[in-house]
Amino acid sequence: MPRTFDGSVGWPALRARFAGALGPDTLAALDEALAFAAERHGDQRRPAGEPYVEHLLEALEVLVDGVGERDPDTLRAAVLHDVVEDTPTTLDEVRERFGPRVAELVGWVTKEGDRGAYLAALRGAPDAALAVKLADRLSNVQRLRTHPRPAKRASYYRETVATIVPLAAGRPWFEDWYRDWQAEHADLDEGER
């Protein structure tokens, strides 16, 4: 059974836990990114009803605790990865506030237009952007069975296996996690089509 990450513990608890792994400058940068993301996402909720910020914290936790990522720009991009896609925030605002590299990473993982083209383009993304995407999707699928729509559970499982699992190739921690997840959720492939 793959590890489950839990953003419901909140930023103060995660921050305290990360203090031994991340330096004070990185923690301060994450404080700023999380405050910005929380303000921009506001009262948004996940499909099962959880506050949206929990998803952002889970993606961050995957990178810090799971993968061992320490790069501040990659970590801030994980926190900000949906701010352009799901709020009125622009990539230029992200660039002005958090710098060009964070904006580039957020840009790579922002869906604009055709979903299939977006997923295909990810194959050419830089490693840091792929890490953010893999952490994002991991948060989305780790509790896939709680999604309120069975048809969505099945289609999202199939999409993840077809387009996201291959992106984990060559990234051992993600390969292992997604392999275990796929085996545990294989029955979803038999779900509604």
- With 0.85 as the threshold, say if the pTM is over it: yes
The active-site residue out of 6, 86, 93, 176 is 86
pLDDT for position 193: 46
Q: CA 146 to CA 23: how far, in whole Å?
A: 35
The active-site residue out of 31, 32, 85, 112 is 85
Mean pLDDT by 10 residues, the chain (193 residues): 94 97 98 98 93 97 98 98 97 98 97 87 95 98 90 93 96 97 91 49
Domain segments of the chain as ranges: 7-190
Reported as type and span, the H/E element at residue 126 is: none
114 is catalytic: no
Token digits for 169? 């190739």
93 is catalytic: no
pLDDT for position 13: 97
Fold of 7-190: Hypothetical protein af1432 (1.10.3210)
Q: CA 40 to CA 24: how far, in whole Å?
A: 24
| Torsion sign (Cα): 99, 100, 105, 108 | positive
Pinpoint the alpha helices (H) of 44-126: 52-61, 72-80, 83-86, 91-98, 100-108, 115-121
